[in-house]
Structure formats: C-alpha cells, structure tokens
Amino acid sequence: MTGRRTILKGMLAGSGLALFPISAFSHDPSPENVFADPSAPVLGNPDGDVTVVEYFDFQCTYCKRDYPMVREVVSSDGNVKLVMKDWPIFGDVSVYAAQAVQGAAILGEYETALDALMTAKGRLSHERIETLLTGAGLDFDAIAAAVKTNEKTISDLLDRNYHQAEAFQFNGTPSYVIGRTVYPGVLDKIMLESAIAKARATAG
C-alpha cells in the first residue's frame, strides 16, 4: 500500500495543485475545453443536446449530498451529457482522490470509482480512498500504474479545470456551467431541471 500511495503522492508534490497560487486568468476558457475536453470522462448521454458541467471536490459535503440527485436528473432526462470536473480545493487528499479516479477512468472504470468515493460517508484519507476503490472491485495497483504512466495528462486536466473555475470566478464547490450559463453554487433538483430546460430552449 505504501508504495502505491507514494506514486500518487509524489505526483501531487510535483503538480503543485494543492498549493496552486491564485492568479488572474487573462481570458475566458473556450467552450471546447469546458464542454468537450478530450481528457475529461463523460457520463449521461455523450450525444446529449445539453451539457451539464459540474466543478466538484471529492470532500465537498454538498457535492456528495447532491450527487445522487444530479445523476438521477441526468438519467431521467436521457438527453443530457454530464461532465464532472475535478476541482480539488480541499487539500492533498482531494487531489489524491481526483488522480486515483482519473487513473481508474483510463482503465475504463471511471463510473465505478466515482460512485465509490462520491457515495462514501465521512471524511476521506489516502488510506480510505484506496480501501473504498478496492472495495468497489478495482485493482489499486493497476490504478496507480495508470496514474504514473499518464501523469502529464492527468495533471494537465486538473490544471485546466482549476483555471476554468478561476476564470468563472467560482468561490467553491459545487459550481456549474449548463449550456452557456454559469451557476456558482448549489442547485437543488428543481433548479437543475430548470437550468437544463433553459439551456435547451436557448440552444437554437
């Protein structure tokens, strides 16, 4: 276990994301990077007519509380693409979780890993993340290897997510971009459904 954690924690130290300086972002992120980043895993309908982008942290209480609701709304609609953007703002454990789940994504196990951490009660730790992912039937050795092999891809993705959140002037998680509208804060079910309807109505 220690060896695998060292791989991921070593990446964390190299990425600098946990202590990323707040700085001005000189231009708005492109729609392509926000809605169609090729490195960002996709849930829901990949060909949906509306894209919901959520900036979240695996240790965000509200993100975890509302995760089942968000998934249910997307599933019930059937024509929504969901992109969960890792924005690890709660320290090194959050970055570690993001890296591990992105490693699982590379192995084709994104949804399993995401569900395992987002539905877990209580605080996360490096050890608990490993236990939760292993308990979900995932091979953590393979995840660690995927993270090591794809270190730049994962670090660049988290970096892009960070700068997008900064450019949108989000103050915390969760925050959303739905269609061409920014929602900086918690959305309940009615608000989320309304935001999707608004995006759909104005798309044409």
The model's pLDDT over 140-179, given as tens digits with 9 standing for 90+, comes to 999 999 999 999 999 999 999 999 999 999 999 999 999 8
Give the per-residue pLDDT at 8: 55
Structural domain contains residue 22: no
Overall number of domains in the chain: 1
| Structural domain includes residue 202 | no
Q: Is residue 204 part of a domain?
A: no
CA–chain centroid gap for 133, Å, is 16
- Domain containing residue 183: 2-15+30-196
- What's the whole-model pTM score? 0.87
Asked whether residue 134 is assigned to any structural domain, the reply reads: yes
Residue with tokens 């060292």: 6
Q: Is residue 203 part of a domain?
A: no
Residue 43 has φ and ψ, to the nearest 5°, of: -120, 175
Whether 21 is covered by a domain: the verdict is no
Note whether residue 192 is domain-resident: yes
| CATH code of the domain containing 8 | 3.40.30.10
